[in-house]
Amino acid sequence: MPVGTYGAVKAMSPDELNALGVTMILANTYHLFLRPGHELIGELGGLHGFMGWDHGILTDSGGFQIFSLNEYARISDDGVDFASHLDGERFHFRPEDAVAVQQSLGSDVMMVLDHLIPSTSDREATRDAVRRTLDWAARCHTAWTDRSADLWGIVQGGLFTELREMCAKELVQMDFPGYAIGGLAVGESTEDLYRMTGVSADVLPEDRPRYLMGVGLPENLVECVARGVDLFDCVVPTRNARNGLLFTRRGKFVIKQARHRSDPRPPDPDCDCYLCRNFSRAYLRHLYMTGEILASRLATIHNIHFFMTLMCDIREAIETDTFDGFRNEFHRAYSGDCPVNC
Amino acid sequence: MPVGTYGAVKAMSPDELNALGVTMILANTYHLFLRPGHELIGELGGLHGFMGWDHGILTDSGGFQIFSLNEYARISDDGVDFASHLDGERFHFRPEDAVAVQQSLGSDVMMVLDHLIPSTSDREATRDAVRRTLDWAARCHTAWTDRSADLWGIVQGGLFTELREMCAKELVQMDFPGYAIGGLAVGESTEDLYRMTGVSADVLPEDRPRYLMGVGLPENLVECVARGVDLFDCVVPTRNARNGLLFTRRGKFVIKQARHRSDPRPPDPDCDCYLCRNFSRAYLRHLYMTGEILASRLATIHNIHFFMTLMCDIREAIETDTFDGFRNEFHRAYSGDCPVNC
């Protein structure tokens, strides 16, 4: 599971990520394009050199942030016009630019530029966005001349089964080395998320990675793996950590709760991360309540360890053909809505 | 050089401090007394257990923060009345309480409660504060029944030579295992700081540690060692790091300066800390400008490494009887007022 970043995995050093077994991170092309700029990063050895990161780097195309951070982004068949959310500078960004920028960044896995629309869009608007997404995917594929890095296609289609299927089929025709499922985890119901993930993954070839973008919570990972997904990215582990929420196999652990005030136990007694091996609930709560950076760091280490271990256990269950049992046992133990009461 | 803390050395983990060779940290009694409370910390194994810190802990008496954070602290011969800066709760804090609270915290080196006054105070007010400081030192000494931890006296006396000398002599009569020089680095000139440090240190026995509280900048350390000081504490390394200022032997390095924007060199080419071994000026500046926690962490590691190395080199120069040369060479190379231009 890549851990997202635009210049650093928040609160973490490369050494710590290595120690946690992280082998791929996600970098946000839009943010790095604006600041410090992909040319500069290219001159400084790409993101691997710039960040001091020796392992895999997956980059998004920039499209998601262009659409989500720019109220007035203007789409044409040629590309997208947007203004920097930092200083208002205007840019015209074409599918070919997305590939070129990601190449400058030194990405290992690049993404095609896609046209993201709200999941509440009607069939007509969604069909139009799928058509443009496919057109852009083809142009990105053509621009993808340096094959030392991967370029993956992205399935769009909103909440419409036949548009998702059509989009996935056309992408597979173009023959990408991997495929992402996009346009989900943007406000739709969990039921719709699971349904559209399944519909999309069913069309994608089993011998290519299937990557669900922007997902998710632990229960989402288990359920979406069940529907065929191999790879995820999300802010959930790191952002929640900084906001004082730890994940455990028994559910969520809210650091600031008063009942942890004098509790000498580790946050998660079943966990062997640096936090849980060395510090008490009382100490972590004290760090959090006093705004210490170390609270964010320890909680981030714990949550990344949790997600890495969860994905590792899922892989092992699949390899030993025990995934159904793992899935049932996971849901039995994990109470997603309630804080841990132990 | 102890690195100050009230529950964590800001941005650092105990593992990192160990790796940097830190063998003593300073904990602020006032902050910990208010939150999470010394009783709780006592129940959870003292600060060593609470923070996961196996090495030395020096605690201040709480007096400095009581006076500096409480505009309306009321002094009597018995003790000091103050209101929590967090919630206004009122406390009466006597010298005996200072010892008891520090014992609960599990301090290795405790400080007597002293009466701190502005360095601009007149002779009469300063004499009165010295008298009270000596009275309180004697009461702390009497309350110091568990000798498993040290208790050190504190020299006050403002900017008056004869009051400093008198205070130091009386403290030496009481026979403490170590002595601090207090009431300096509170706004007086550097000349006054050096003069009063020398005056105080001259009276203190050479076979006991002499500790200058709240100092200081690299040049202050070199000059005050020359005047007999063995030990310092200060926020300078860590707070400046979070504000984007690195120390080098050639002077100060200001991270945010535009000229570092595309500079591939390490922040300090002569340094072998984790930051300077692995990351460029351009990357550190990017982290700083985007507000990444990692900027604070890397800068803090560098500055602690710088101060640890400086003190280590000073010790070595003293042992090899080359301190005068070291001192001259340090000042020649170090331009304290100007950013590094290299």
3-class SS string, A176-218: CCCEEECCCCCCCCHHHHHHHHHHHHHHCCCCCCEEECCCCCH
Of A8, A264, A297, the CB nearest to B292: A8
Interchain CB distance below 8 Å, A298 and B264: no
pLDDT at B1: 45
- Closest residue by Cα to residue B262 from A89, A35, A99: A35
- Name the average pLDDT for chain A: 95
The answer to whether B200 touches B166, Cβ cutoff 8 Å, is no
- Closest residue in A to B242 (Cα) is A293
Across the range A154-168, mean pLDDT stands at: 98
- For residue A44, the chain B residues in CB contact (below 8 A) are 262, 264, 280, 282-283
pLDDT at A11: 97
Instruction: Answer yes or no: is pLDDT of A225 > 70.
Output: yes
pLDDT at B2: 47
Of B35, B43, B292, the CB nearest to A290: B35
pLDDT at B4: 43
Element at A3 (helix H, strand E): strand A3-5
Which long-range contacts does B94-101 make (Cβ < 8 Å, 24+ apart)?
B94/B139, B95/B136, B95/B137, B95/B139, B95/B140, B95/B143, B96/B139, B96/B140, B96/B143, B98/B29, B98/B61, B98/B62, B98/B63, B98/B140, B99/B140, B99/B143, B99/B144, B99/B151, B100/B143, B101/B29, B101/B33, B101/B38, B101/B62
Of A280, A282, A297, the CB nearest to B13: A297
- Closest residue in A to B295 (Cα) is A11
Per-residue pLDDT tens over the stretch A262-315: 999 999 999 999 999 999 999 999 999 999 999 999 999 999 999 999 999 999
- For residue B262, the chain A residues in CB contact (below 8 A) are 40, 43-44
pLDDT at B220: 97
In this structure, the number of other CB atoms found within 10 A of the CB of residue A24 comes to 17
pLDDT at A336: 64
- Beta-ladder partners of B234: B3
Interchain CB distance below 8 Å, A261 and B296: no
Beta strand B251-254 with B245-248 is antiparallel
The answer to whether A179 touches A210, Cβ cutoff 8 Å, is yes
Beta strand B231-232 with B245-248 is unpaired
- Closest residue in B to A293 (Cα) is B11
Give B158-222 as a DSSP string: TT-HHHHHHHHHHHHHH--S-EEE-S-SSS--HHHHHHHHHHHHHHS-TTS-EEETT---HHHHH
pLDDT at B6: 55
Tally C-beta pairs within 8 A across A and B: 100
- For residue B294, the chain A residues in CB contact (below 8 A) are 8, 10-13
Interchain CB distance below 8 Å, A50 and B12: no
Indicate which of B12, B48, B292 best probes the interface with A, i.e. most A CBs within 10 Å of its own CB.
Answer: B292
- Per-block mean pLDDT, blocks of 10 residues, chain B (342 long): 62 97 96 96 97 97 88 92 92 97 98 93 97 98 98 98 98 98 96 98 98 97 98 96 98 97 97 98 98 98 98 98 98 76 50
The answer to whether B168 touches B210, Cβ cutoff 8 Å, is no
Q: Which residues contact A198 (CB under 8 A, 6 or more apart)?
A: A227, A228
pLDDT at B29: 96
Residue B80 is which amino acid?
A: V
Interchain CB distance below 8 Å, B36 and A280: no
- Closest residue in A to B278 (Cα) is A52
Across the range A247-272, mean pLDDT stands at: 97
Question: If pLDDT is split at 50, 70 and 90, which confidence band does A339 have?
Answer: low
User: pTM score, two decimals?
Assistant: 0.95
CA separation for the pair B80, B65 (Å, rounded): 12
Interchain CB distance below 8 Å, B274 and A15: yes
DSSP state of A231: E
Interchain CB distance below 8 Å, A44 and B7: no
Check: complex ipTM more than 0.85: yes
The answer to whether A156 touches A116, Cβ cutoff 8 Å, is yes
Of B7, B11, B15, the CB nearest to A290: B7
Cα–Cα distance list, B110 to B96, B103, B178, B179, B231 (Å) = 12, 8, 10, 11, 14
Instruction: Answer yes or no: is pLDDT of A323 > 60.
Output: yes
Per-residue pLDDT tens over the stretch A130-155: 999 999 999 999 999 999 999 999 99
Give chain A's domains with CATH numbers: 3-234 (3.20.20.105), 239-339 (no CATH)
Per-residue pLDDT tens over the stretch A31-90: 999 999 999 999 999 999 999 999 999 999 999 999 888 777 899 999 999 999 899 999
Instruction: Answer yes or no: is pLDDT of A15 > 90.
Output: yes
Interchain CB distance below 8 Å, B52 and A283: yes
Cα–Cα distance list, B125 to B36, B131, B159, B265 (Å) = 35, 10, 12, 53
pLDDT at B119: 86
